[in-house]
Amino acid sequence: MPKKIADILKEKGIPINFQYGGTAPEELVDREVKKEPDPRPKKLLNLYFDTLSSATVEFPYWYTRKWKELEGDIPVIRRATAMKYAFSHLTPTIFPGEKLVMGKARYYRGSFPMPWESEGYFLAKEDELYQAALKKGSASADEVSKFGSGGGNVTKSFGSVVSIAGKFGIREEEVPALIRLSREWVGKSVDDLRSKYEQMMPDYDFKEKIMRSVICMFESGFTLPLGREVINYYYPLQYGFDGLIEMAKERKAEVAGNAGGDGVIGMDRLYFYEAVILVLEGIQTWILNYAKEARRLAAEETDPTQKAEYEEIAECLEWIAHKQPRTFREALQLIYTIHIAVLNEDAISGMSPGRVGQILWPWFEQDMEAGRTTEEEVIELLELHRVKMTCIDCFASAGVVGGVLSGNTFNNLCLGGLTRDGRPATNRLEFLILEAGIRCACPQPTLSVLYDEKLPEDFLLKAVECVKTGTGYPAWMNNRNAIEFLLWQYGREGMTLEEARAFSIGGCLETSPGAWHELTLNGKTYEIPGGAGQPTSVGVHFLANPKILECVLFNGRDHRTGEQVYPAHNRKLETYEELWEVYKQYYEMTVDVLCRANNIQHDIWRKNNMSIFHSLLKPDCLTKGHHIGNLGIRYNGTFNVESCGTVNLINSLAALKKLVYDEKKYTLDQIREAILANFGFKTAEEVGNYSLVTQEKKEGGEVWDDIHTDCLLAPKHGNADPYVDAILKEYEDWFCDMCTKYESLYAKPLYACQISVSTHGPQGAVTLATPDGRLAGTTYADASMSPYPGTDRNGPYAIFTSATCWDQTKSQNSQLNIKVHPSAIKGMEGARKLLEMTRAYMRAGGFHIQYNVVDSKVLRDAQEHPENYRELMVRVAGFTQYWVELGKHIQDEVIARTEYEAV
């Protein structure tokens, strides 16, 4: 029986604990707060649980058919017409019991590929084109990304169903059409064109090596070009689609033939307004096709209740296809419809609804005052909204959907924050949103509290009640930090303090600019927030910090691929300063080449595949007459540099500094040998588990015990240890500043983004053992401020001290996740402790904290018996996901996190 690291550590008396603050009870402990969805959403949620992720080629077929027909036309018109044609031809499906209707595709959990973005991975494995795609660096992340095989993921083909992109099922009858569609986009897709033009960069081969080594997780220009941003529902909510079409027609007449003082893109306004009209007409037809379907079903229905419900659906859709909504239900249906329409325009994750409680407040207030609705009815609608949002699937490659997103779509709904004039923005509807989130626990929309000292205590305690359900939401975001960051990054684009207060979170925790809008409903005026920026987390995606250190230690070579990724530095690394200097050089080379490649990708995207519907929703596209690619959107400095594995990097630097440079106990060569020997352990792949604690010793591996013990005992992040905190501060000061040296295609400086999403799984999988004692192939610490599992020995307040040793307002975000045993926060006393702990972190300057309230034993049991846990959700890093839909790397990592038995 091979020895496991947990046993070895125990024998050695090394204080690496996976519980802090006591010992968990022996029995399985469930979450304290548990409510049931109302009957209607429960039925629809149960249907979701039994539904497979299903893809269809309907949308791409109609889109491509029209696109081909318009060859030679102006790209924005060609795209808009193709979009109109596709929307107009989607098959409407309405499921019995639904009040909110419509979807991305005809299936309940439907989606579709967009071969105009990238076509390679849609092709069957034996296909020659797929083989060619595999040779591209971008395919490397696919190989190391794993989906959970449970839930609705179709990870294997069966019967007449073919598995594609590792997650989606498609009917075999549609596969020949998919292949044909894919072939039609060869040489024309954003992916193929970017490949052609990226090769004009002199260091293109270097960039491809970076991708093959998975030092960078993915590229967004042809995978997820939009998202991690906040949508803006204002214009359709205020004017209705008819009003917007009228407005575009008027503007079109004004600008036709006029440059308007802009000799470069002034003339483009005509085409943009025409494109707006075309797309809006397509969306109207799409909505009205659903209305017709509701009428058809009503005509055939024998049950009078269901018949009446179909008729209500038809009336609602027939109205919102043209006009400003009249009721809360119509407004909710409209924002959901807008949301889905945007998601159908492009491959998107993290299109966040924003501050929905504040956006829909006018309808809620007026319906309540008029007695048109009740709070219970509103909660039911909000629960239904949760189910519909949970049904959203994002179709992209396996590496992106599995390795980065874990199948999640990151529709973040924010609560709290401040009004334009600095008052708490919470309202009664936000309480109901929390209540719906408690009753109808499902991943979407995930919730975030924009925490501000001014927010009322009862609201914060309601949010804590929601946390105690174990859903992993709401996450807590520091309102003040975000505002400071926004003013720093967007002040140069004219952002004021008042406008900064309109922000919300895009995706999991990407601070995104917003704007205030005056909305009039029945003669009463309100001010509502909405997104006002381009997508964020477009730029340089997830750099594997420990992997870059590995390359520094091994003279630029990646031992996994055998490639010389970086030019050999040939330095002896005799001092810590020299090591750090080379690290920064390699890192900056990486950011530089990826930034340029990314700029080419997004430039091709904006020329051929620009967003039109998404653009017109955001200020100031309709006013300026320009889409996103022509800088129509108000804030454009949104591109960033994302990192992953920060804590393993910091812990490794601390170990090297202490053991090699300060104490000189080992030479760098001895450390290198130990790393290559994986400290005498088998690889994680061999063991079949990806957390440190379960790794097994090789026979004869004991010779590495001393060095491994010392590496594990070296100072670790999260213990308020000034030795390691100083290293973190030096890293952060450099990193946040370094990012701003690089420029996006929109000629704006980049900035730091520090989240891991799921990338700490696959990027850990490609990384050798690290000097901090982490073993080869195991996951990195999650997030950016979470301690490595079992190494936080001084409690949560020590973590806070370490995590706030640097100025977090210089980064778009930072991320800290803490796993808490349900018994640690029991009752009102436990709730208040959790709130005080959260408050303490926010006051110290932390940006984000989130809690996984779960008994680790439940997770272990769920891993062994997934069939019993279809509904179990956990928080990963910025998102909540069903346990059974997570890949094993991430499951192992969540289990391994330190569990707090007391707070």
Closer to other proteins by Cβ: residue 113 or 470: 113
Q: What b/e readout covers 419-449, taking b as 16+ CB neighbours within 10 angstroms?
A: bbeeeebbbebbbbbbbbbbbbbbbbbbbbb
d(CA 263, CA 266): 6
- CB of 64 or CB of 648, closer to other proteins: 64
CB of 294 to other proteins, least distance (A): 13
Nearer to other proteins, 392 or 650 (CB): 392
- Residue 576's H or E segment, with its range, is helix 576-608
Residue 801, number of CB atoms within 10 A of its CB? 17
Nearer to other proteins, 107 or 121 (CB): 107
Which backbone phi and psi does 273 adopt, to 5 degrees? -65, -35
Contact 539, 642 (CB under 8 A): yes
Phi, psi of 773 (to 5 degrees): 100, -5
Strand 475-478 relative to strand 446-451: parallel, antiparallel, unpaired?
Answer: parallel
Evaluate the omega torsion of the peptide bond into residue 96 and state whether it is cis, within 30 degrees of 0. Answer: no
Retrieve residue 902's tokens: 């007391």
Site residues, other proteins (CB under 8 A): 47, 50-55, 58, 61, 65, 68-69, 88-96, 106-110, 152, 154, 159-161, 169-171, 173-174, 176-177, 180, 289, 297, 300
* Cα–Cα distance for residue pair 158/172, rounded to 1 Å: 10
Query: Distance between CA 17 and CA 692 in Å, rounded?
Result: 12
To the query of whether residue 510 is one of the catalytic residues in this protein, the response is yes
Cβ closest to other proteins, residue 90 vs residue 432: 90
590 Cβ neighbours under 8 A, 6+ residues apart: 210, 215, 216, 540, 543, 548
Tell me if 242 sits within 8 A of 549, measured CB to CB.
no
* CA–CA dist 139, 517 (Å, integer): 43
Q: Is residue 227 a contact partner of residue 348, using CB atoms and an 8 Å limit?
A: yes
Name the minimum Å distance from CB 112 to other proteins. 12
State which residue, 65 or 857, has the beta carbon closest to other proteins.
65
**Shortest reach from residue 287's CB to other proteins, in Å:** 12
Q: Residues 510, 550, 732, 893: which is the catalytic one?
A: 510
Distances (CA, A) of 45 to 48, 202, 382: 5, 52, 13
Question: Which lies closer to other proteins via its Cβ, residue 98 or residue 198?
Answer: 98
Cβ pair 330, 316 in contact under 8 A:
yes
499: three-class secondary structure by DSSP: helix
CA distance 490 to 532: 11
| Nearer Cβ to other proteins (294/677) | 294
Nearer to other proteins, 93 or 709 (CB): 93
Structural contact between residues 265 and 626, judged by C-beta atoms closer than 8 angstroms: yes
Which letter does DSSP use for residue 470 in this model?
A: T
Structure tokens at 523: 């003669």
Which residue, 47 or 487, has its beta carbon nearer to other proteins?
47
Length of the chain counted residue by residue: 903
- Spacing of C-alpha 508 from chain mean position: 5
Dist. CA 693–CA 684, nearest whole Å: 11
Dihedral sign from CA coordinates of 118, 61, 628, 102: negative
Residue 745 and residue 602 in contact, taking contact as beta carbons nearer than 8 Å: yes
* C-beta separation of 343 from 112 below 8 A: no
* Minimum CB distance to other proteins smaller for 95 or for 797: 95
Is 821:790 a contact under the CB 8 Å cutoff? no
Active-site hit among 216, 316, 391, 508? 508
Cα distance between residue 855 and residue 894, in whole Å? 11
Which amino acid appears at position 717 of this protein? H
Residue 689: what residue type? N
Active site residue ranges: 508, 510
